[in-house]
């Protein structure tokens, strides 16, 4: 996988809607007690679909050097 990319979650902004988890192609995410968590982070392919569909900008892919 691309090592210069990192999955970041900001629980303070997460509203627990679960959209990111539903459409993650690798089933990386799960909503636990109304906040999303990466329960299977090793499987993440850094596709960024969760970032595109999170209505609250609480999950994203950070590129090194940004």
20 binds, among another protein, ligand SF4, none (CB under 5 to 8 A by kind): ligand SF4
How many C-beta neighbours within 10 Å does residue 51 have?
17
CA distance 41 to 44: 5
Closest to another protein by CB, 43 or 52: 52
CA R_g for the chain: 11
The single residue among 6, 30, 37, 49 that binds ligand SF4, judged by CB under 6 A, is: 49
Residues lying near ligand SF4 in the complex (CB under 6 A) are found at: 7, 14-20, 24-26, 28-29, 31, 36, 44-50, 54, 56, 58-59, 61
């Amino acid at each position: 996988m691309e090592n210069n990319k990192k999955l970041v979650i900001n629980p303070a902004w997460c509203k627990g809607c679960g959209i990111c988890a539903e459409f993650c192609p690798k089933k990386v995410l799960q909503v636990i007690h109304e906040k999303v968590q990466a329960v299977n982070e090793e499987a993440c392919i850094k596709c960024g679909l969760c970032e595109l569909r999170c209505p609250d900008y609480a999950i994203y892919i950070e590129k090194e050097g940004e």
